[in-house]
């Protein structure tokens, strides 16, 4: 059999099979789409957490007196911290490195003024 004749024969057979099978497959796909239920609800928008500066100061054990422009820090032997779930937890000050305690209790008022945040 000639090579070109064979290619033409295969092409004809493929076209006939596609014409025979395609309508059946398309109707099946349409039935499946009609059966499917559509979901029109939007995904819930995630809100960014808002920074509550008053709460932050409270968690850090710091209070700011605006009238006298003074900052006071809780220097007791227990420090308040927050665990992964957001719960307040008391931690012995001895278990916290001194550098951290000094950084928390340091007076940052001059730095805040230079940064024009107060």
- 70 lies in the same domain as 31: no
On whether residue 71 sits in a domain, the answer given is: yes
On whether residue 23 sits in a domain, the answer given is: yes
Q: Which of 11-20, 70-79, 87-96, 109-118 has the lowest mean pLDDT?
A: 70-79
On whether residue 43 sits in a domain, the answer given is: no
Q: Report which DSSP code applies to 106.
A: S
How many domains is the chain built from? 2
Is 70 within 8 Å of 26 (Cβ atoms)?
no
pTM, two decimals, is 0.28
- 27 lies in the same domain as 60: no
Phi/psi class of residue 19: alpha, beta or left (left: φ > 0; alpha: ψ in -120 to 50)? alpha
Domain range for 24 is 1-35
pLDDT at 74: 63
| Mean pLDDT, residues 24-49 | 79
Phi (first) and psi of residue 72, to 5 degrees: -120, 145
On whether residue 46 sits in a domain, the answer given is: no
């Amino acid at each position: 059999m000639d090579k070109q004749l064979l290619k033409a024969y295969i092409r004809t057979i493929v076209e006939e099979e596609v014409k025979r099978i395609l309508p059946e497959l398309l109707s099946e796909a349409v039935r499946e789409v009609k059966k499917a239920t559509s979901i029109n609800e939007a995904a819930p928008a995630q809100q960014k957490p808002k920074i509550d500066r008053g709460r932050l100061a409270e968690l850090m054990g710091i209070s700011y007196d605006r009238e006298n422009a003074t900052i006071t820090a809780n220097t007791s032997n227990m420090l308040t911290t927050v665990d992964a779930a957001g719960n307040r937890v008391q931690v012995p000050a001895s278990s916290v490195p001194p550098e951290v305690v000094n950084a928390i209790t340091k007076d940052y008022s001059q730095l805040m003024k230079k940064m024009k945040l107060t």
